[in-house]
Chains A and B, each alone.
Chain A
Amino acid sequence: MSLFDYTLKELQEKLHNKEITITDLVDASYNRIKEVDDEVKAFLTLDEEKARAHAKELDEQGSDNPLFGIPIGIKDNIVTKGLRTTCASKFLDNFTDPLYDATVVSKLKEKNTVTIGKLNMDEFAMGSSNENSAYFTTRNPWNTDYVPGGSSGASAAAVAAGEVFFSLGSDTGGSIREPAAFCGVVGLKPTYGLVSRFGLVAFASSLDQIGPMTRTVEDNAHLLQAIVGHDEMDSTSADVEIPNYTEALKQDVKGLRIAVPSEYLGEGVSDEVRESIKAALKVYEDLGASWEEVSLPHSRYAVAAYYLLSSSEASANLARFDGVRYGVRSTQAENMVDVFKYSRRDGFGEEVKRRIMLGTFALSSGYYDAYYKKAQKARTLIKNDFDKVFEDYDVIVGPTTPTPAFKVGEKVEDPLTMYATDILTIPVNLAGVPGISLPCGFSSEGLPIGLQIIGKHFDEETIYRAAHAFEQATDHHKQKPALGGVKG
């Protein structure tokens, strides 16, 4: 067995019994990275020297929490003080010395996790395959011809490959759940406002959320517990009472009322995915839960509304990249406006430019009502669909993605086909509700399939309870990719 086969709880027991040290855990991470990251290509920046020194220091102290001393990888749009943060963009290639930590990073430092490095992503979190990274494309550990998903593709791949014990991702339209599904790990997009966005480089501020990516549901609950809470540095951070998420795992799912939207099993969803979801529903029946088919009638409008809204917000948020205060400045420019125009031309990749253009268009004079405002109204209808279903049901269950991972290069030429990948995750962000993806099977090609469980606002407890019950009744999460020639 490898150290990566243990849950956080088991690792803490081993640390406590002095069977292992934190230095062993950090060694295991960097050894594995040396072994497989040429294939997986998950890390943009490693922080090895500091991580090893940190481990040594922590080995002198006693553990006081479940995350103590555990190696973590952080998506590269989450700001880390003194550690290069690029958002996988050439624009921030030289941003080697960020001035502060994101709130989630400060919170993890208080728990004494060990930061291994920064993880690749689609540039500024815009993408569903990692192919929009300005550096390189992270690969799916289950088959390196396939994409890991995006935009938190490397956050999922690094956990699946056993390079880190857990990671942080961010999710604007599915960017945690889609890669979690493609790579066979557990990824939660929390309720909008539950986790502070301070220090998350903003993409679409009314949709963005940071969330945990782990091997197991229990580990996921531990990581969420550490990063939630009101933050005065984020004015959209919700001031709500925080429950004990791991307590929720102890309850069974007898009597749980599950809604299954017919739109989530319809056209475009592959037979293998549909069969896996049906098998999962059978597991829930056996566990004493009940399910019924429902309708989320406005689902088909979600992708269109999402691209108008998220691109509009992005066009405003990315105005800050002007080549003046940080980032790369074009050396060609001779006047101020050209500093902006040339720096942005040189610094941004194709997809980022496309979205800035779409957003600027949708917000421009004469088009605002027809596109931006219309999309905001569609958002209301989509949100109302969820509210209505949640009057009668505890959770909504369906696939995370219509198909398993696709091949590198397969969808890169057609933005609209790529956007449709997120058709089952986008509505969740528009409604602001929480959603998790966890493994529920494999395709005939051996690629993981994800089960999505969606809950009411701030009801992560019920999501975890349902996810944990399914996980404990199945063994999909115990499968591991055969990377680097050896299993494990």
Chain B
Amino acid sequence: MSEITKEQVLHVAHLARLAITDEEAEKMTKELDAIIGYAELLNELDTDNVEPTTHVLDLKNVMREDEPRKWIDREDALKNAPDEKNGQFRVPSILD
């Protein structure tokens, strides 16, 4: 069934926010096609009446009181940032 196209790969790369060259897109098309082709092995399985497993443990939502607590201060939060200004993360302009 699978026959991944280069256009699909470019679309997925955009969704994943990955810049890829034309050459890389071609290589990745072949690779993804092979992996997806292999994954179609799962189509042998009759899963009509099977519930999906998202999690192996029987966990319920874990809630706690929404109370502020001391974690890290602003100066620390910024010290691994590639760029910062006036106590904030600095990025290129989002609006034109």
Interface residues, chain A, CB within 8 Å of chain B?
Answer: 94-100, 192-193, 206, 232, 235-236, 238, 298, 300-301, 304-305, 307-308, 315, 319, 322-329, 333-342, 344-345, 348, 353-354, 356-358, 360-361, 364, 371, 373-381, 383, 415-416, 430-432, 457
Give the contact-size bracket for chain B: 35 or more
Task: Name A374's contact: one of B42, B57, B72 (CB within 8 Å).
Answer: B42
Question: When A and B form their complex, which 5 residue pairs have the shortest distance between CB atoms, in order from nearest?
Answer: A432-B56, A376-B52, A329-B82, A377-B47, A326-B80
Known: A304-B39, A344-B19, A357-B18. A377 touches B91 (CB 8 A): no
Known: A333-B92, A381-B47. A358 touches B56 (CB 8 A): no
Q: Are A304 and B19 in contact (CB under 8 A)?
A: no
Residue in B closest to A322 when the chains form the complex, CB atoms: B17
Q: Are B91 and A339 in contact (CB under 8 A)?
A: yes
Interface check B85, CB cutoff 8 A? no
What residues of B have a CB within 8 angstroms of the CB of A376 in the complex? 52-54
Q: Are B82 and A327 in contact (CB under 8 A)?
A: yes
Residue in B closest to A365 when the chains form the complex, CB atoms: B15
Known: A193-B57, A360-B12, A378-B42. A341 touches B50 (CB 8 A): no
Interface check B83, CB cutoff 8 A? yes
How far, in whole Å, are A377 and B44 apart by their CA atoms in the complex? 12
Q: Are B42 and A95 in contact (CB under 8 A)?
A: no
What residues of A have a CB within 8 angstroms of the CB of B41 in the complex? 300-301, 304
Known: A375-B42, A381-B47. A353 touches B18 (CB 8 A): yes
Residue in B closest to A345 when the chains form the complex, CB atoms: B19
Shortest B59–chain A CB gap in Å is 6
Q: Are A341 and B56 in contact (CB under 8 A)?
A: no
Interface residues, chain B, CB within 8 Å of chain A?
Answer: 4, 8-9, 12-13, 15-20, 28, 31-32, 34-36, 38-45, 47, 50-57, 59, 62, 64, 72, 76-77, 79-83, 89, 91-94
What residues of B have a CB within 8 angstroms of the CB of A97 in the complex? 79-80
Shortest B8–chain A CB gap in Å is 8
How far, in whole Å, are A326 and B82 apart by their CA atoms in the complex? 6
Shortest B65–chain A CB gap in Å is 11
Task: Name B50's contact: one of A308, A326, A348, A381 (CB within 8 Å).
Answer: A381
Q: Are A336 and B54 in contact (CB under 8 A)?
A: no
How far, in whole Å, are A403 and B26 apart by their CA atoms in the complex? 33
How far, in whole Å, are A416 and B36 apart by their CA atoms in the complex? 11
Instruction: Decide if the interface of chain A is mainly helix, strand, loop or mixed.
Output: helix
What residues of A have a CB within 8 angstroms of the CB of B51 in the complex? 377, 380
What residues of A have a CB within 8 angstroms of the CB of B64 in the complex? 232
Known: A341-B18, A416-B34. A381 touches B45 (CB 8 A): yes
How far, in whole Å, are A97 and B80 apart by their CA atoms in the complex? 7
Q: Are A378 and B45 in contact (CB under 8 A)?
A: yes
Q: Are A344 and B39 in contact (CB under 8 A)?
A: no
Residue in B closest to A334 when the chains form the complex, CB atoms: B92
Q: Are A357 and B34 in contact (CB under 8 A)?
A: no
Residue in B closest to A376 when the chains form the complex, CB atoms: B52
Q: Are B82 and A323 in contact (CB under 8 A)?
A: yes
How far, in whole Å, are A94 and B91 apart by their CA atoms in the complex? 18
What residues of A have a CB within 8 angstroms of the CB of B92 in the complex? 333-336, 338-339
Task: Name A357's contact: one of B12, B62, B80 (CB within 8 Å).
Answer: B12
What residues of A have a CB within 8 angstroms of the CB of B59 in the complex? 193, 235-236, 238
Task: Name A344's contact: one of B12, B17, B76, B79 (CB within 8 Å).
Answer: B17
Task: Name B31's contact: one of A333, A340, A354, A432 (CB within 8 Å).
Answer: A354
Q: Are A356 and B18 in contact (CB under 8 A)?
A: yes
User: Can you name 5 extra interface pairs (CB under 8 A) apart from A307-B39, A357-B18?
Assistant: A238-B59, A319-B17, A327-B82, A377-B50, A377-B53
